[in-house]
Amino acid sequence: MNTPIPNRLFVRNRANFAAQLPPKSVAVFTANEPMPRNGDQFFPFRQQSDFFYLTGINEENAFLLIAPDYPIEELREILFIEPYDEVKATWQGEMLDNAHAAELSGVKTVKGSDAFWSVLNDIVFSGYGDTIFLNSYEYPKYECNTETIQQRFVKKTKALYPMHNYGRTAPILNALRMVKSEEEIKIIQQACDITGKAFRRCLETVKPGMNEFEVQAEIEYIFKRNNASGHAFAPIVAGGKNACCLHYSKNQSLLDEGDLILFDIGCELKNYSSDLSRTIPINGKFTQRQADCYNAVRRVMKEIIKLYRPGGTINQINETTYKLMEQEMIKLGLFTAEDVKKQNPDKPLYKKYLMHGISHHIGLDDHDNIDKFKPFAPGMILSCEPGLYIREEGIGIRIEDDLLITYGEPINLFEGLPTEIEEIEAAMKK
């Protein structure tokens, strides 16, 4: 198990959050629940990221209540955890006790989760909890047909207290989570180091005739061996034309001599993500055409990295990349400058070969919830991931680093990892 994160991070996160609540508010959060798989199985438990951000607690059946104006000081912050259950402890292992929960989270008042609704009742009818802030997952393009425990919790709370005012925690938490603290940067750097190690292992092991899943197994070995909990997202290990499928994750094809292989991988460490993409030749040597395509992407990447500075935006990164890649695509003979002049502006030609966004925030989630209009500021961590996908040639290339915004140049969290063609070929020769 990962060593815990010092609780000062969660203490500070709660204080920053509470400072933004209007007077006489109470904010309530529920932990995630285990997701059913099939038969009598559940998917491995993963805490809801906002709940973790505020508590550091990785348990189900838990609640957090924050009522900054409540007159009784020890009830302004309460963590509720599952009461001890001997049968559960026998089958699933030791349960978290109140003292340990207090130590992990820094919350001084810890109660059993069976007391949550009655405590909330007291607070919302006290005159010091007139506005109830509820947590919801607000990610514009995410579609999910499953009703989450957070959604049920919202419904239940609103049914119990229909006459109260309500607020959303998401805008506050999204803004806070965009800027990483020192502790978070350190963990994400460690996660990137582990992911980088896994990539180095791929450089040593990939060869024609292997299967994508064998390469994935090498990556997972390094992740687990270095105390990461696993993948931060479904890993992409894509040989040849599979790399043109943007979220390919079957990872079950044989690797052909002469093809490229694209990795988009990232371990999760202490619930924090890393996100790396590299593309390498399966036989250790780029063909001229592959090298030309690769260098086109790499040149553009080097240009746009300069834009990861305070005041920059994801929109600016995207638009600049598309413009530069369009020029590179002309040089690669994918279309002509004349074709571009005549193109339908709603369907630009470059979109056939580069159809995704170039950057996202990284933190407790690989794609952290964001305010996409907020300019970059020191402490933000974003991916930089231009790509080029030429399906008809079986060439799919993406190169991705994670960048920490500073007051000056960004810090590359994958600094030193082989990226240039010569570096990749030299590492594969060893």
Site for ligand GLY in 109-148 (CB under 6 A): none
Nearer to ligand GLY, 233 or 335 (CB): 233
Nearer to ligand GLY, 160 or 234 (CB): 234
Cα(67)–Cα(39) distance, integer angstroms? 41
Nearer to ligand GLY, 101 or 188 (CB): 188
Q: Which of 59, 77, 259, 264 binds ligand GLY (CB under 6 A)?
A: 264
Tell me the per-residue interface mask from 337 to 376 with Mn ion, x by CB under 5 A, - otherwise: ----------------------------------------
Tell me the per-residue interface mask from 341 to 380 with ligand GLY, x by CB under 6 A, - otherwise: -------------------------x--------------
Nearer to ligand GLY, 135 or 277 (CB): 277
Nearer to ligand GLY, 50 or 275 (CB): 275
**Binding flag, residue 383, Mn ion (CB under 5 A):** yes
Nearer to ligand GLY, 64 or 198 (CB): 198
* Minimum CB–partner distance for residue 382 and Mn ion (Å): 9
- Count of residues near ligand GLY by CB under 6 A: 4
**Binding flag, residue 275, Mn ion (CB under 5 A):** yes
The CA distances from residue 369 to 53, 141, 152, 360, in Å, are 13, 11, 21, 9
**Binding flag, residue 77, ligand GLY (CB under 6 A):** no
Q: Which of 50, 130, 212, 275 binds ligand GLY (CB under 6 A)?
A: 275
- Count of residues near Mn ion by CB under 5 A: 2
Which of ligand GLY, Mn ion, none sits in contact with 233, Cβ below 5 to 8 A by type? ligand GLY
Query: Nearest 5 degrees, angle CA 181-CA 184-CA 186?
Result: 110
* Minimum CB–partner distance for residue 152 and Mn ion (Å): 31
* Minimum CB–partner distance for residue 237 and ligand GLY (Å): 12
Cα(214)–Cα(282) distance, integer angstroms? 13
Binding site for ligand GLY (CB under 6 A): 233, 264, 275, 366
Binding site for Mn ion (CB under 5 A): 275, 383
